[in-house]
């Protein structure tokens, strides 16, 4: 077994070798090569999957359909983009039960109930005083969600009132940003969030909702 003296001699020997190597490199006119490594992450993620159910009524004509594609049955012709009578999001599932919206699209904005301005170039949602940003269902999978944490990245969150709905928008409860909330009225109708600006203008950059 090596004792302290042996260890000391060993370290001294290593240092001596190191100094000798440095001197030899100088004498040989050699230059030291330094390698740098720069790190950068590619972080692709699957954010959300949405399935919407487009219901066709009994009088819509559908080409190729065994029932609704039969002529002389009184079916109506409809436009290619409006060929269904109602469209409902029936499933919205998110990676790791965490919804995130960076506002690069307005896919999740409830444009009927929101009063601010979505910027398709700045990728943000702009709220003036009294404006509202309300989402569509951001999580819906025939499950009851009872807990959720809403986080917002914005130019200023001081004057934002935050609300969550655990029942698809039937009722709302005020929540604290970044703090887990327990749903007071929960159904399988999905989670929605609502942000109301109470004072000066605010730009919303990113909304994150973790739930279970």
Partner 1 sequence: MVLTLRTKQLMTSSLSTGVMVIPTAIAWGTGSTAFTENSSALNSECERNTISSTDLQSQTIEFTGTLATTEAVGSTIYEVGLFNTASSVAFILDTMYPLNKTSSIEFDTIFIMRNK
Residues that bind partner 1 (CB under 8 A): 42-58, 62, 64-68, 84, 87, 90-91, 93-96, 100, 102, 104-105, 107, 120, 123, 141-143
Give the torsion through C-alpha atoms of 206, 140, 114, 44, to 10 deg: 30
To the nearest whole angstrom, how small is the minimum distance from the Cβ of residue 119 to partner 1? 12
CB-based contact 147:212 (threshold 8 Å): yes
To the nearest whole angstrom, how small is the minimum distance from the Cβ of residue 58 to partner 1? 8
> How many whole angstroms separate alpha carbon 52 and alpha carbon 192?
16
To the nearest whole angstrom, how small is the minimum distance from the Cβ of residue 147 to partner 1? 19
CB burial of residue 143 (10 Å; 0-12, 13-18, 19+): middle
Nearer to partner 1, 90 or 177 (CB): 90
Nearest alpha-carbon partner for 192 in 163, 173, 165, 171:
165
CB-based contact 44:15 (threshold 8 Å): no
To the nearest whole angstrom, how small is the minimum distance from the Cβ of residue 22 to partner 1? 38
Nearer to partner 1, 31 or 96 (CB): 96
> How many whole angstroms separate alpha carbon 79 and alpha carbon 99?
33
Nearer to partner 1, 5 or 104 (CB): 104
Nearer to partner 1, 100 or 159 (CB): 100
To the nearest whole angstrom, how small is the minimum distance from the Cβ of residue 73 to partner 1? 14
CA of 25: how far to CAs of 12, 13, 15, 32, 33, in Å? Answer: 20, 19, 16, 8, 12
- For residue 97, the tally of other CB atoms under 10 A from its CB is 15
Nearer to partner 1, 160 or 209 (CB): 209
To the nearest whole angstrom, how small is the minimum distance from the Cβ of residue 104 to partner 1? 4
Nearer to partner 1, 140 or 175 (CB): 140
> How many whole angstroms separate alpha carbon 116 and alpha carbon 131?
5
């Amino acid at each position: 077994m090596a004792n302290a003296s042996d260890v000391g001699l060993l370290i001294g020997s290593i240092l001596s070798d190191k100094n000798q190597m440095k001197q030899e490199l100088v004498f040989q006119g050699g230059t030291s090569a330094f390698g740098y490594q720069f790190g950068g992450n590619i972080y692709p993620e699957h954010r959300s999957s949405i399935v919407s159910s487009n219901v066709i009524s009994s009088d819509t004509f559908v080409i190729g359909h065994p029932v609704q594609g039969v002529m002389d049955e009184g079916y109506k012709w409809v436009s290619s983009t409006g060929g269904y009578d109602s469209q409902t999001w029936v499933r919205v599932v998110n990676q790791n039960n965490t919804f995130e919206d960076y506002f690069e699209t307005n896919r999740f904005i409830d444009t009927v109930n929101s009063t601010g301005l979505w910027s398709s170039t700045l990728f943000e949602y702009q709220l003036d005083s009294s404006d509202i940003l309300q989402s569509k269902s951001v999580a819906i999978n025939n499950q009851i969600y009872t807990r959720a944490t809403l986080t917002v990245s914005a130019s200023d969150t001081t004057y934002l009132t935050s609300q969550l709905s655990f029942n698809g928008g039937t009722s709302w409860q005020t929540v604290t940003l970044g703090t887990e909330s327990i749903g007071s009225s929960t159904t399988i109708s999905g989670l929605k969030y609502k942000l109301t600006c109470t004072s000066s203008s605010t730009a919303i950059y990113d909304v994150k909702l973790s739930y279970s």
